Structure 1
Amino acid sequence: MPLVAKESRCSSSSVPPPPAVSNSNWVRSGSGWEKFIALRENLNRHIKRLARDSSNSRVILSNINNRNQEVESSQDQNKENESNRKKKSIDHHSCYIFLPRGGAKKTGFYFTIGEVLNRLDFSGAVHDHRRFNYVCRILEIITESWLFALSGLAQKNFFFILEESVTVVSETKLYVNRVKKILQDISKNLLKNPHFHVGSPKTWNKWLDLVKDWLQQLNTIDYTPTEIRVDSLQLMDLPPDCLNRIMSSLANAKDIVNFGLTCKYIHEISEYTLRWEKLCRFHFTQQQITSISPKFLDSDNKVNWKGVYSRLCHRHGNRELYNNVLNLCNHCNCIYWTDGGHPCSAEITPEFSTRQFSDVVVTQQNLTPEEFMKLWPTP
């Protein structure tokens, strides 16, 4: 009996309970014997955890991809902004120029007319209709007094601006007569006193051939009017107030006179006394008007303002009108276009300007083409 009890104790210590083993509620796992229900719950939790982790991984991967796309797009945008900034800085740099204070003897630095034409971007300014008349007037001044003494760089820049002007005129069919007059004057000056020109005769003959080609190109411009529909609104259908408003925008007397020659109806509108009085007061001073107006009184003691304008224009010339001019800043001594602006030191460092130069008022001076050309040494 003791021996049998000992064997039972040994079997009970090494083997699980027989009923539990044969029961399907128990299964062997890696960690030992577990109930089947508990194992199934563990497996379900593990599957759910894997599914949750996989969904989280998909979300994480999608977030990473979106982030990478955002980074790539931001890098592309930064590159584009950087290229635009560099391009803008280059273009902006060519549209203003700082004049040295104290003259070339003190500073050892000066600009030639060729560099000025390049850095102020006159070749690009002719494509802006607001700057076109201003550039044309400077070309006229150079043609009259500077052409024979231009250096090689100045000649190249000057004729490049002319080429761009001819291109603009050919496309828009505007300012044809003015550009044609400039080319004709250049052709005369090139043929006159060729021995006093700077450069070889071969170079000046090349410019002369170019000018002749440009003149021929302007002479071949076709002014064929477009077909007008019978039922379309025409100029004569407008009321007198509209025609008067259109004619009031013309500041040149020649344009008004030529406009009035089209028909009798428009001629009567062009003869309005108030229009010619406004032109006189705009182009001339009160002292100039007073000195000559008594000579143009009619029988009713009314002033013939058209006659006054004609006489004053013959004596003093017209006042030039420009929509966009070059300005001179009195603070940093910079020349720039009106709509382009410039990096003034008063705007870049406001603390510096308010502390040390609080009594200085930053102003600008509008430069006429004649005043602009006087800034550079005459040849």
Structure 2
Amino acid sequence: MPFLGQDWRSPGGSWVKTGSGWKRGSHDKVNDIIKFMSQENKENSGQEQDFEVVVKKRRKDMLNTAKTQYFHKDKWIYVHKGSTKERHGYCTLGEAFNRLDFSAAIHDRRRFTYVVRLLQLIAQSQLTSLSGAAQKNYFNILEKIVNKVLKDQENIRLIKELLQGLHTSLCQLVEGVGKSVLVGNINLWYLRMESILQWHYQLKHIQITAREDEGLTLVDLPADMQLNILRRLADGRDILSVGRVSARLSGLSEDRLLWKRLCQYHFTERQFRRRLMLNDKGQIDWQRMYFKMQRCYPRKEEYGDTPQFCRHCHVLFWKDTGHPCTANNPECAYIPLSPQAFINLFKF
């Protein structure tokens, strides 16, 4: 129950719910509140043993608020970078990471790769900026992702790269534990590192089971349809993996036009000129160029669904959840955020 004093910025008084209604207690003395509740309850019933249980439970709930998990009804967050009379402090990356419900987003195929990429970027440079609750949420989401991949047997290489990069970052941070760069007990981080190694071992030794589905498979399709499917792949390593399935797919995976389009999709002509590579026939070797430029330049990233930022309201949200926008034409104020832009939004 809120209480507003003469000064509207004051936190107000403390109120306790009893059998006869709400009673006003001390301002910030938890023990007085508990004692007041205990006496009130004893007057109504007389079972001292039950009161002790209630008092201990209430003391634990009030003093260990850091262990309580809060669930937000609104799936959007106001991004403010300064203090005002209405809002104090500023919004952090950890708060946004908790509020936007990335735990449910991993079950959406359009958002899965986005969440994984965001976890990679956080592991590289932003892990120490997260609060203890956000770090706990980070590893909970990571565990759900690993369990999902083990069950669906999809995106195995993507998650293995995430775990490998995270383990490398944690090894570097643990060495600097004397500088207090990690939140929590160091033994907890050692346990998390052991979990990461265990997950990586499970993904490395996963056994892909064949699905007994009736109908055509990739091998049964005509060559032109197989080539059209290969052109939809955005990663050259996936093309090479498909080429190992059969002899015909191996020949299609070596198609020069296929690799040329892949290079043109990810890189610019100016980058081509700096990394030209010719084969024995004097022609451009697009396949070798792709893997060489991949090591020198970042690849193009596209996602099925991304978080939106409203420039009018300064609110971060998923597009399907929306937010109470006050603009006349809200769609014009929405900006899709890439994973790196998401992190840059909280750099002050």
The reply to whether TM is greater than 0.5 is yes
Q: 1:146 and 2:136 equivalent?
A: no
CA contact (8 A) 1:331 1:362 kept: no
Q: Secondary structure at the match of 1:335?
A: strand
Q: 1:263 and 2:263 equivalent?
A: no
Q: Secondary structure at the match of 1:344?
A: coil
Shift of 1:280: 2.0
Residue 345 of structure 1: aligned partner? 326
Distance 1:123-1:276 versus aligned 2 partners, 3 A rule: same
Equivalent position to 1:118, from 85, 98, 105: 98
Equivalent position to 2:166, from 181, 186, 193: 186
Q: 1:165 and 2:145 equivalent?
A: yes
Provide the C-alpha distance between the structure 2 equivalents of 1:190 and 1:310, rounded to a whole number of angstroms.
28
CA contact (8 A) 1:326 1:367 kept: yes
Identity %: 34
Shift of 1:320: 2.0
CA contact (8 A) 1:104 1:110 kept: yes
Q: 1:325 and 2:306 equivalent?
A: yes
CA contact (8 A) 2:307 2:336 kept: yes
Provide the C-alpha distance between the structure 2 equivalents of 1:178 and 1:299, rounded to a whole number of angstroms.
35
Shift of 1:325: 1.4
CA contact (8 A) 2:120 2:162 kept: yes
Residue 46 of structure 2: aligned partner? none
Residue 54 of structure 1: aligned partner? none
Provide the C-alpha distance between the structure 2 equivalents of 1:324 and 1:361, rounded to a whole number of angstroms.
15
Q: Which residue type is aligned with residue 204 of structure 1?
A: W
Aligned residues: 271
Provide the C-alpha distance between the structure 1 equivalents of 2:161 and 2:130, rounded to a whole number of angstroms.
20
Shift of 1:362: 2.1
Q: Which residue type is aligned with residue 369 of structure 1?
A: P
CA contact (8 A) 1:327 1:364 kept: yes
Moved more, 177-186 or 207-216: 207-216
CA contact (8 A) 2:78 2:91 kept: no
CA contact (8 A) 1:183 1:211 kept: yes
Q: 1:236 and 2:219 equivalent?
A: yes
Moved more, 333-342 or 122-131: 333-342
Q: 1:127 and 2:107 equivalent?
A: yes
Provide the C-alpha distance between the structure 2 equivalents of 1:187 and 1:221, rounded to a whole number of angstroms.
20
Residue 40 of structure 2: aligned partner? none
Structure 2 counterparts to residues 1-379 of structure 1, below 5 A: 93-94=74-75, 96-100=76-80, 103-106=81-84, 108-191=88-171, 192-193=174-175, 194-195=177-178, 196=180, 197-219=182-204, 221-226=206-211, 233-293=216-276, 296=278, 303-346=284-327, 350=328, 362-377=332-347
Q: Secondary structure at the match of 1:372?
A: helix
- Unmatched runs of 5 consecutive residues or more in structure 1: 1-89, 354-359
Shift of 1:252: 0.8
Provide the C-alpha distance between the structure 2 equivalents of 1:276 and 1:324, rounded to a whole number of angstroms.
26
Q: Which residue type is aligned with residue 302 of structure 2?
A: L
Shift of 1:311: 3.4
Q: When you count helix as a share of all residues, which structure comes out higher?
A: 1
Moved more, 130-139 or 179-188: 179-188
- Given the two structures, how large is their TM-score scaled by the length of structure 2? 0.67
- Unmatched runs of 5 consecutive residues or more in structure 2: 1-70
**1:243-297 per-position Cα deviation (integer Å, ceiling 9, x unaligned):** 112111111111112212333311221222222222122112233334545x548
Provide the C-alpha distance between the structure 1 equivalents of 2:280 and 2:193, rounded to a whole number of angstroms.
53
Shift of 1:118: 1.2
User: Which aligned runs of 4 or more in structure 1 are off by greater than 6 angstroms?
Assistant: none
Q: Which residue type is aligned with residue 161 of structure 1?
A: I
CA contact (8 A) 2:110 2:305 kept: yes
Moved more, 116-125 or 206-215: 206-215
